[in-house]
Amino acid sequence: MPTANLRLVQTDARSSPQATTSVIPRRRTRKPLGQILVEMGAVSPENLAMAVSLQAREDARFGDILLTQGWVREADLYAGLALQYRCQIADLQREPPDVRLIDQLGAAFCIRNGIVPWKSVGGATVIICSRPDEFRTLSRTFPAEWGRCFLAVAPEGDIQAALIAMRHRSLALHAETRVSDSESCRGWQAGTVARFAAALVICLCAIFVVSSFAGFLTLVIWAVLTLLLNSALKGIAAIQYWRRGAPTPLNPQQSAPKHGFLKLPTVSILVPLYKEREIAGRLVKRLARLSYPKELLDVCLVVEEDDTLTQETLAQANLPRWMRQIVVPRGVVKTKPRAMNFALDFCRGSVIGVYDAEDAPDPDQIHKVVRRFAQRGAEVACLQGKLDFYNARTNWLSRCFTVEYATWWRIVLPGVERAGFAIPLGGTTLFFRRDALEELGRWDAHNVTEDADLGIRLARHGYRTELIDTVTEEEANCRVWPWIKQRSRWIKGYAMTYGVHMRQPRKLLHDLGWWKFLGFQILFLGSLSQFLLAPILWTFWAFPLGLPHPLRGVMPSELLILLGTVFMATELLTITVGIQAVSNDKLRWLRFWVPTLHFYYPLASLAAMKGFTEIMTKPFYWDKTQHGKFDEPDAEGIIPPPMNPA
């Protein structure tokens, strides 16, 4: 667009201190956008009335309502905005913006606000804006040397594409360094960790050389101690579950929110995808079942630049208006948190959600999330939904995985919440207040369990996470080697999260307090110790089987009886809690499979060995889990599960 064609209109000098530098017509002289579109024949009067009615109760932009409902074409909408603000529509493909001007504001700032400084002409600067009603406010942040600023309009997608093309490298680098150095694992020194591990192994070997009894007893004491702590946490959680019973569903007509939204907010949902040919089409159908108003949904499908497979799949999926693809430029690391850090700047919502590629959330899930945030103060910065599997019947591994998930999400994690411990988040069905997420620096791009790390950082900064009674179903990983790869990544991330936050134990204690600090040790150090030392405890099966054992003939019989009692009690507790976790109508058939968990958990010890090895060799490597192999194509077509394991 030639700059000479820009229409300049003087502002009211009394309305803004920037009126002399920001050329925009006075608000009272502008005709309403809806009236302009009706006069253009772009919108019918009936659709205009419905859009106005929706805007009265929803925190959605008028243009987004029209576009999402299919009541106006994008070209007509921006033609109407150009008429309303007496400016021109810019063509960014024909005339790219001046990168020097972009750098003065920052590409991330421009993306968040839907603007791009275009060019300087004769001591003035042309600013392209996708939301011209915000131009007057934004002009207060413009550098003084820009002089008088003229307005042009362009679709937000065109502005974002131009900014990525001009500044993709700086945006990608910024996405990797959002979290402060003191709370990030990007400074992780694999060599230092390897030397520490070697020193620890040498010390243990020295103890065994001096006395094999002393060495083995040391490992046994630590293994039994962590076993007791984890079992106590599980037992207390189970008792609380039995006393309180299943949570009562929240009635939508219950009392008004204490801190309620004046209008329903826009909710942005990040869905990171990588090489997802099988799952992408089903994902669109599953998210389309969400009952939240589509004009308030902003689903961002986050795809890596080199992932042409997923990009081609999405190109054939005919995405609805409320669902869009965001391509993440190449960077130093390729992880899910880095991709989400990059994509967050493109989100429109004040509430940010995270789903995985294979997720099938409850249709009313977003309504429940918005209602809970409205009922809580700003200190509740995160809501965590429950997870379940839709392919539990695939094989034995999927059945055991489902029992484990049910135990964690339905009994143990609610117990952790009621105990007042910091909650290590799961990787999906997470919802955040955007302001709090931005304050914490978003996700640690180098942590392969960014969710658990973020849960601890939320607690350290004084925020709370609450569980919410809504379920998202996903695909159980039910092949042995992929299961081990996935679990090894979780264990590696847990270990790195523990190492990062324990760099300064006193500061962590100060941030969390004694009680949450203790919970952190149980949940992280205790769990990691159990994964590694479980084989030590398994050796005690040698006693009832009459096999040789290092402690046979050395350890007093009374102590052996005590240890045997402890082991049997913890096994019975695991079985009892597992049966309780699958006691609902949907999962009751799995109770017959709970005792077989005894043969399932050894896989986690194999995964721990792989994970701890990678901590010293490739700490930031993201071992991708492939989805869609055992997916349920249609929820309505699912056959009810059998009532017995036959």
pLDDT digits over 632-642, tens only?
A: 544 443 434 44
Q: Which position has the higher pLDDT, 566 or 629?
A: 566
Q: Cα-flanking dihedrals φ and ψ of residue 622, to 5°? A: -100, 105
Contacts of 448 (CB under 8 A, 6+ apart): 335, 489, 492, 493, 496, 620, 621, 622, 623
With cut-offs at 50, 70 and 90, classify the pLDDT of residue 629. low
Which pLDDT value is given to residue 2? Answer: 43
Residues 525, 527, 531, 535, Cα dihedral to 10°: 90
Which pLDDT value is given to residue 81? Answer: 93
Percent of the chain predicted with pLDDT > 90: 57
Q: Which position has the higher pLDDT, 624 or 14?
A: 624
Read off the pLDDT of residues 367-394 as tens digits, 9 standing for 90 and up: 999 999 999 999 999 999 999 999 999 9
Which pLDDT value is given to residue 250? Answer: 47
Question: What mean pLDDT do residues 550-578 have?
Answer: 83
Q: Is 93 exposed, middle or buried, given 0-12, 13-18 or 19+ CB atoms closer than 10 A? A: exposed
Which pLDDT value is given to residue 217? Answer: 82
Which pLDDT value is given to residue 632? Answer: 57
Read off the pLDDT of residues 342-355 as tens digits, 9 standing for 90 and up: 999 999 999 999 99
- Hey, what domains does the chain have and what are their CATH numbers? 3-176 (no CATH), 216-646 (3.90.550.10)
Which pLDDT value is given to residue 282? Answer: 83
Read off the pLDDT of residues 235-251 as tens digits, 9 standing for 90 and up: 888 888 887 665 544 44
Q: Which position has the higher pLDDT, 216 or 384?
A: 384
Which pLDDT value is given to residue 345? Answer: 93
Out of 176-190, 546-560, 573-587, which region has the weakest mean confidence (pLDDT)? 546-560
Rounded to whole angstroms, the Cα distance separating 525 from 4 reads 67
Sheet strand arrangement including 124-129: 22-23, 148-153, 124-129, 115-121
Which pLDDT value is given to residue 600? Answer: 93
Read off the pLDDT of residues 468-511 as tens digits, 9 standing for 90 and up: 999 999 998 889 999 999 999 999 999 999 999 999 999 999 99
**Is 607 a residue whose pLDDT tops 60?**
yes
Read off the pLDDT of residues 506-554 as tens digits, 9 standing for 90 and up: 999 999 999 999 999 999 999 999 999 888 888 877 777 777 777 777 7
With cut-offs at 50, 70 and 90, classify the pLDDT of residue 451. very high
**Is 560 a residue whose pLDDT tops 90?**
no
**Is 459 a residue whose pLDDT tops 50?**
yes
Which pLDDT value is given to residue 645? Answer: 36
Read off the pLDDT of residues 308-318 as tens digits, 9 standing for 90 and up: 888 888 888 88
Residues 364, 369, 370, 372, Cα dihedral to 10°: 120
Verdict on whether the full-model pTM lies above 0.85: yes
Nearest-5° Cα angle at 194, 193 to 197: 85
Integer CA distances (angstroms), 640 to 6, 391, 637, 644, in order: 65, 11, 9, 12
Question: What mean pLDDT do residues 1-13 have?
Answer: 40
Which pLDDT value is given to residue 17? Answer: 37
Q: Which position has the higher pLDDT, 479 or 262?
A: 479
User: Under a CB-based contact definition with an 8 Å cutoff, are residues 430 and 359 in contact?
Assistant: no
155: tokens are 């679709």
